[in-house]
Amino acid sequence: MKRLLVYLKDYKKETILGPLFKLLEASFELFVPLVVAEIIDAGIGGGDRSYIIKMSVVLVLLAFVGLVSAVTAQYFAAKAAVGFSTKLRYSLFRHIESLSFSEMDTIGTSTLITRMTSDINQVQSGVNMVLRLFLRSPFIVFGAMIMAFTVDVRAALVFVVTIPVLSVIVFGIMLITMPLFKKVQAGLDQVLRSTRQNLAGARVIRAFNKEAEEIASFREDNEQLTNLQILVGKISALTNPLTYIVVNAGIIAVIWIGGKQVYGGILTQGQVVALVNYMSQILVELVKLANLIVNITKSLACANRIAEVLDTKSSLDNPKPSLETEKKVESDVSVQFSHVGMTYANASEEALTDIDFVAKKGQTIGIIGGTGSGKSSLVNLIPRFYDASSGEVLVDGKNVKDYALTELRDKVGVVMQKAVLFSGTIEQNLRWGKEDATEEELWEALEIAQATDVVKGKPQGLSYKIEEGGKNLSGGQKQRLTIARAVVKKPEILILDDSASALDFATDAKLRLALRTLQEKGKQTIFIVSQRTSSIQFADRIIVLDDGKAVGIGTHEELLVSCDTYREIYESQFKKEEQLTSSTNQNREKEGGDN
């Protein structure tokens, strides 16, 4: 929790005034039993009606001032708690955005969402409760004990015994429940993860008739969370009955001791009532404190989870942009991989091993290989989504680790394997690549991406509203718009990571031709990751990957001769088509002869 207190620094006034007004309210509350004692002894006992009225007015004034103090304290506490959570949420989101893909993969999306929402809300509630009650309740407990000593020392000794016993109960339960609340939040992560997977993959689940299995799996996760919450609830629920038992035993002891002293003329009836009132105040405040402790326990568990994310350092060092103008060395080399190896976090084996090649400016580099061969891993090293474990990745002759991330990624345009669009208009999505792009530039990019018909087919054109995740677009439409978004940026290096898989062969061919024209104009280096040999066979160089290793580098013709892996991929795709075409022609000839 200490790690997060820095976000309260702008609310110092509120964090001081809130508890102070609560203490002011508590101070007035401690005088109430004494006033009641005076009403009983002097007013009722002496039959003085005017004195009773006068002291009743005093009680009303004490209540009014206490109410004003409580409302003021609530205002300052709420302002500090809400402001604290706002700053914390912003800081957490900014920190998550700074993490590399490695940390995001390790922590997991579902737990990050839980910590951004549920955990921060719980911590906000905890801060609010602490500012309002954490000082007030102990103040009244110990204040009531002190006031009891001013009434009668012998009867007040009951308070001395009762309060430590109650403290052991409250704090003992807190120590037991605190680690359990952390497990509850982890269980909530699991339920959220299951929910996200089911909602995102609803169509797949229904296509395979797996609804019953997924419902059973969710029920199991949900029941585990429920059982854990019930266990914590049962332990926490012991607080109230145990404190009631101890406090009521104390009240009985006070009445017993006080009654004897009233009979002996040592105490008055009003003083005994005052002692009972003080014990009742202790009961109420300890119940409040017990509930506060439960709330604080949850909040501390959530705060520790948030701090874990904030303490997670990005594995990517981000050098500051150089203020000095560097002398650019004229070179035709755009990207160079120098004996590069890469290992994912917590992985036992390398994803890439000894990758070594040079991509010149204006060249198209094709990357092909089987599933899991490391194609995406390779291109993700260029914009530093991940860092190489060994070797060097150079862009324009400079190690990517020496670039500021913004400077490096300004040079690179990436179209991810999964087409991702954000809620907003088509125009807003395209301007992610370049905020100040003209409408002419947007249409030019759409034409290159073969997406002109997509936009013109919509009633509002560029102002057409895209739903979250592009749900109102087909897979091919989404892919073409994401390609257009990258093209608008006019990057020096354009990476297409299997981004045309949903396009038909004709559209794919037109896209490659348009990119070639764009490349000739701007000397762009283009990396095309694909499963189709037809998409990359006209590339200047093709890199063939197998199990993270480059088993072949060359042109299409060279690889057909020298690389068995490439030849197998090519033949598996093209010979089948040739056989199918030949079989179709034979059938047609046979039908023509019969006629």
Q: What is the DSSP letter of 5?
A: G
Picking from 31, 14, 70, the residue whose alpha carbon sits closest to that of residue 288 is 70
pLDDT in the model for residue 544: 93
The reported pLDDT for the residue numbered 313 is: 85
Q: Looking up tokens 């290096």, which residue turns up?
A: 493
Give which of 124, 134, 234 is closest to 184, Cα–Cα.
Answer: 234
Angle (CA) 293 296 298, round 5°: 115
Structure tokens belonging to residue 212: 């019953």
Q: What is the pLDDT of residue 575?
A: 64
pLDDT by residue for the chain (595 residues), tens digit each? 677 888 888 888 888 998 899 888 888 888 888 888 888 877 787 777 888 888 888 888 988 988 899 899 999 999 999 999 999 999 999 988 888 888 887 887 878 888 888 889 989 998 998 888 888 888 888 888 888 787 777 777 887 888 788 778 877 877 787 778 778 877 887 888 888 788 878 888 888 888 888 899 889 889 988 998 898 888 878 877 887 788 788 878 878 887 777 777 777 778 888 888 887 787 778 777 777 877 887 788 888 888 888 888 887 777 776 655 455 556 788 899 999 999 887 777 888 999 999 999 888 999 998 888 889 899 999 998 888 889 999 998 889 988 888 888 888 988 888 888 888 888 888 888 788 888 888 998 899 888 898 888 888 888 889 887 788 888 888 888 988 999 898 888 999 988 877 777 888 888 888 888 777 666 789 999 988 888 888 888 999 999 889 999 999 999 998 999 898 888 888 765 454 444 444 444 444 444 4
Extract the tokens encoding 457: 């087919």
Bridge partners (DSSP) listed for residue 367: 529, 543
Cα–Cα distance measured from residue 592 to residue 410, given in angstroms and rounded to the nearest whole number:
61
Which value, to the nearest 10 degrees, does the dihedral of the CA atoms of residues 414, 417, 419, 420 take? -70
Beta bridge partners of 495: 414, 527
| pLDDT for residue 501 | 75
* Domains of the chain from N-terminus onward: 84-310 (1.20.1560.10), 333-566 (3.40.50.300)
Give the C-alpha distances (Å, rounded to integers) separating 390 from 333, 340, 527, 550.
21, 5, 22, 15
pTM of the complete model? 0.69
Q: How high is the pLDDT of residue 589?
A: 45
**Which pLDDT value is given to residue 66?**
86
Q: Where are the alpha helices (DSSP H) in 99-152?
A: 101-107, 109-114, 120-129, 136-151
- pLDDT score at 582: 45
Positive or negative, the CA dihedral 82, 84, 89, 94 is positive
Q: What is the pLDDT of residue 586?
A: 45
pLDDT for the residue numbered 8: 87
Residue corresponding to tokens 């009983």: 40
